[in-house]
Amino acid sequence: MRNLLVYRFLLANALGIALAMALAWTGHLTPVFEHDESHLTVAIAGLFVIGWLWSLKEVLSVSGSLNSSKLLGYRPATAAQADKALLKVEWLEAVSEWLVGLGLLGTVIGFSIALSGIDQTTVKDAAGAQNAVATLMVGMRIALNTTLLGAALALWHEVNMRMLRTAMGCYWIDRTRAHSGEIASRWQD
């Protein structure tokens, strides 16, 4: 069967999109972006979209190579060629870490905002206490929303990367095995 990697990718991402749509439908997704004064949720979402688009590009490329190899046999390749190809997409694996890192940065910024609203001299009266609580709530919302969004999108991206990494690894192992003569190849050098 052809394009199995593409089908797996589409299925996993359809589930992720369905979950995101369900959260949006129930009103849980919009406040994550609306109440973020730091705008880190937009940066997190933007980084995820870049990683997702590049992952899709690589999935389509690897799927095409796998389909071609099924038809023509594996073109011999050296281990160095395999390493070079894998290094070109290595940055994609770091996107999950960056998403979590941005989420944690949002946590720190949120706590900073929350603590900045506490002024010892004004919390003694009711109006000062209300202002302090309001600022505290804004900061805590930023802290929690950025952490949740960063972690959730990092998990989603990691699922995509696991599929891509497995397919690329299998493809390059078979090409290097064809180079060493372990498996037959129809390609001529």
pLDDT in tens, 13-27: 999 999 999 999 999
- Residues 120-131, mean pLDDT to the nearest whole number: 71
Report the pLDDT value the prediction gives residue 184, as an integer from 0 to 100. Answer: 61
Q: Is the pLDDT of residue 187 over 60?
A: no
**Token pair for residue 188?**
């001529």
pTM: 0.86
Nearest alpha carbon to residue 168 among 160, 96, 72: 160
Phi, psi of 186 (to 5 degrees): -90, -5
Identify which has the larger pLDDT, 177 or 133: 177
Q: State the average pLDDT over residues 113-118.
A: 78
The mean predicted confidence, pLDDT, of the chain is: 88
Q: What is the mean pLDDT of residues 125-129?
A: 73
Share of the chain above pLDDT 70, in %: 93
Q: What is the mean pLDDT of residues 139-159?
A: 94
Q: How many CB atoms lie within 10 A of CB 19?
A: 13
Rounded Cα distance between 136 and 113, Å, is 7
What is the pLDDT, as a whole number, of residue 180? 79
pLDDT computed for residue 57 by the predictor: 96
Question: CA–CA separation, 10 vs 3, rounded Å?
Answer: 11
Q: Is the pLDDT of residue 77 over 90?
A: no
> What is the C-alpha to C-alpha distance for residues 41 and 51, in angstroms, rounded to an integer?
15
List the domain boundaries for the chain.
4-100+157-180
